[in-house]
Structure 1
Amino acid sequence: MKKLAEKSTRTRSWFDPRFAIGIALVVASVVGVAAIVTTADRTSGVYVARSTLVVGDHIDVGDVNLEHVRLGGSEARYVTPARLPREGLLVTRTVQAGELIPLGAVGTRAGESVTSIVVSVRPTLAASVVAGSAVDVWAAKKTGSSQFAPPGVLVPAASVVRIIADTGLMATTDGQSVEILLPKGMVGAVLESVANGDAVSVVAVDAPVAGAK
């Protein structure tokens, strides 16, 4: 009878809940460590400058090396295969040989032929002129202290990048500042017009659709 009682006691102690909890904690710890190691081991394909890249250089797949590196949450800051378009990219600031190519150091090839400038326009912009609008830039040449010649189109079919809100002491009620994208060949004429104090206006190319809000 005594032996039977001892056997029963040993059987109950084998199923001690504390033992099961201990096993569960060990398994959870192993799984957690494995997840951390897997995450730390994950690499991303990023382009590296094969030689020093300077402003104005073109970047194509054949001009750079693809390296697999651990970036963690920084992958979005660099040029990856998914971010290198077929037509390539244009370097906007120097990247040293062997350096990961930051997105902030490159631009699209469109930058070769167009650029953006900020101009003050008057009167205020029409409600239909928003970022992305196609517009004509008009200018009325200043002929006296408050006299202007008839206006004419200075830049046809430019694009609005953004409308800048004037604040503080610089705020006015008779005009606005707007950033426009235009061909580089037109920049000189626009800057000359601004320097001369001409009245510059921006007019939407397309009339809004009736009923559009």
Structure 2
Amino acid sequence: MKRPAKSTRRSFWFDPRFAIGLGLVVAAVGGVYLIVSASDQSTAVFAARSALAVGDRVQAGDLVATQVRLDGTGDLYVTPDWLPDDGLVVTRTIAAGELVPVSAVGRTSGTETTSVVVELTSALAANIGPGTVVDLWAARKTDQNAYGPPTVLVGQASVVLLVEPTGLTVGTGIRSLELLVPKDNVAEVLESIANRDALAVVPVNEPLEQ
């Protein structure tokens, strides 16, 4: 009668030095990764895919996102997060491959509207401030001390800035406003300013109570 054959499988052997070495390798790789990640301070900014001329309207497809190290100057260039949905308008020539500076582009709304500073001859309502939509009224000056009936000069203009009085106008109650008006109305507004017409603004909508 034959006896069962003995198993030839060897028992598992574990060397602590192997585990220590493996741990050191993993730690070294992790350390290198952290160092490289910490040193990589690059930011995604847009570069021109091709040469852009003044007046060109550009969308994301006209630009190429490029990873560059800006060293604290990221606010000077257009980034993917900053690009408006309706695109941008080029205000100075940008060469192909050049990073797109914020100073070289503008919003597309700038092709239809522009800012004009007007000097008011009436008190300003307390609820008027930057962002308020107003109607600009004008009473045409007919002679030195007389004015015609007031009419709406520009409807639904946006207030950009309240200009605080300075110099001789301090204490006179005169206040200037920077308004965003359609370019089609600019000539009429400038003519009214030159004529020294009486100008006033009236809010279009009543603000919600807090």
> Residues 40 and 70 of structure 1 are in contact (CA less than 8 Å); yes or no, is this contact kept in structure 2?
no
Q: Structure 1 CA distance, aligned partners of 2:181 and 2:92?
A: 22
Partner of 2:99, secondary structure, is coil
Tell which deviates more after alignment, 186-195 or 45-54.
45-54
Tell which deviates more after alignment, 182-191 or 101-110.
101-110
**Letter aligned with residue 54 of structure 2:** V
Query: Deviations along 1:145-173, whole A, 9 cap, x unmatched?
Result: 12110111111111111101011234351
Gaps of at least 5 residues in structure 2 are: 1-30
Q: Structure 2 CA distance, aligned partners of 1:194 and 1:35?
A: 63
Query: Deviations along 1:54-85, whole A, 9 cap, x unmatched?
Result: 33211112222222111232223211122223
Match of 1:23 in 2: none
2:8 counterpart of 1:48: no
Match of 1:165 in 2: 164
Q: Structure 2 CA distance, aligned partners of 1:160 and 1:96?
A: 35
Higher helix share: 1
> Residues 165 and 174 of structure 2 are in contact (CA less than 8 Å); yes or no, is this contact kept in structure 1?
no
Pairwise CA distance, 1:42? 3.1
Match of 2:90 in 1: 91
Tell which deviates more after alignment, 124-133 or 102-111.
102-111
Pairwise CA distance, 1:43? 2.0
Q: Structure 2 CA distance, aligned partners of 1:42 and 1:75?
A: 11
Match of 1:137 in 2: 136
Query: Deviations along 1:78-121, whole A, 9 cap, x unmatched?
Result: 11122223321112333333321112222221112111111101
- Per the normalisation by structure 1, the TM-score is 0.76
Gaps of at least 5 residues in structure 1 are: 1-30
Match of 2:58 in 1: 59
> Residues 90 and 107 of structure 1 are in contact (CA less than 8 Å); yes or no, is this contact kept in structure 2?
yes
**% identical equivalent positions:** 47
Structure 1 runs, 4 residues or longer, greater than 3 Å off: 33-40
- Per the normalisation by structure 2, the TM-score is 0.76
> Residues 135 and 160 of structure 1 are in contact (CA less than 8 Å); yes or no, is this contact kept in structure 2?
yes
Counterparts of 1:160-199 in structure 2, within 5 Å, are 160-199=159-198
Match of 2:145 in 1: 146
- Equivalenced residues, count: 182
